[in-house]
Amino acid sequence: MIKEIKVYLFILLALALIFTYGYLFYPHSPVKPTGLSLERPSAVHVLGTDDLGMDIFAQISRGFYISMFIGLSTAGLACSAGGILGIASGFRGGKTDGVIGFFINLFLSVPQLPIMIVIGAFFGQSIWNVIVIISLFSWASIAKIVRAKTLQIKSKDYIKIAQSYGASFFYILTNHLIREISPLLLVNTLAVIGKAIVQEASLAFLGLSDPVSKTWGLMINKAVNFPGIYFTHYWLWWLLPPLVCLMLTTYCLRMISREIENTITK
């Protein structure tokens, strides 16, 4: 278990290092044409150039940071909202639980992609909107898990004894609940980062993400929509690298989250 987590972490770290180099020290700009259109990979342009002559490797490096930023912010928002609402719902019970529970079920039963498209279409395309939209549809599953865990802990004897001694909610929260819930939150945060990156890529693929910040999804979108790309070799260096990076990153994140989950439950 721990060994596998280390392997996936190593891959992620290696990717991060490569892309940090590409973002900070690589000589070509990710947003300006620096070569001819659609150059093959060479010593000058490591992964070649796209149709506008912009360096692919520089773009992927910048895309990594944008994608990670989106993933981390979404995970932060969704996990704090899900955690707070889940604990409130599980601990308070009664009417609070009824209202929060209804919204959890509502957000879980609505198909995510169509509603993200609708909101994205109406509220305009910026990175912040994308982050808010994806978090809006990620908190519910976390809240559900946290709520179940809180209920389970709440019914334990030591909490009841603590309460009978007059322990306040905050005392129980900081001394007992946080300790049990934080590993759960960690697992879900990692999972949400991966999901958010994929969902942003889906939105970008449909042309609904921020057109200025070029993420991996937008690169794939641009490459696929290039006329006649199927009959050329351009896709080998224009489409494949962002696609492989996207798959590898999300896969590693998901696997780390799953291995941690297995370690916790065992």
Q: Which residues bind other proteins (CB under 8 A)?
A: 102, 105-106, 109-115, 117-123, 194, 198, 201-202, 205-208, 220, 224, 230-231, 235, 239, 243, 246-247, 250-251, 254-255, 258
* Crossing angle of the two packed helices 139-154 and 94-109, in degrees rounded to 10: 140
Reduced DSSP (H G I as helix, E B as strand, rest coil) percent helix, strand, coil of the chain, to 5: 75, 0, 25
51 Cβ neighbours under 8 A, 6+ residues apart: 37, 38, 222, 226
Q: ∠ at Cα 219 (252, 221), nearest 5°?
A: 105
CA distance 166 to 140: 32
Give min distance, CB of 205 to other proteins, in A. 6
Say whether 14 sits in a helix, a strand or coil: helix
Residue 40 DSSP class: P
* Distance set, CA 102 to CA 24, 95, 98 (Å): 47, 11, 6
For other proteins, give the closer residue by CB, 68 or 172: 68
For other proteins, give the closer residue by CB, 1 or 110: 110
Give min distance, CB of 254 to other proteins, in A. 5
Give min distance, CB of 9 to other proteins, in A. 16
For other proteins, give the closer residue by CB, 87 or 256: 256
For other proteins, give the closer residue by CB, 44 or 113: 113
For other proteins, give the closer residue by CB, 153 or 201: 201
Give min distance, CB of 142 to other proteins, in A. 17
Give min distance, CB of 118 to other proteins, in A. 5
DSSP of 57-94 = HHHHHHHHHHHHHHHHHHHHHHHHHHHHHHHHHHHH-H
Give min distance, CB of 178 to other proteins, in A. 29
For other proteins, give the closer residue by CB, 53 or 207: 207
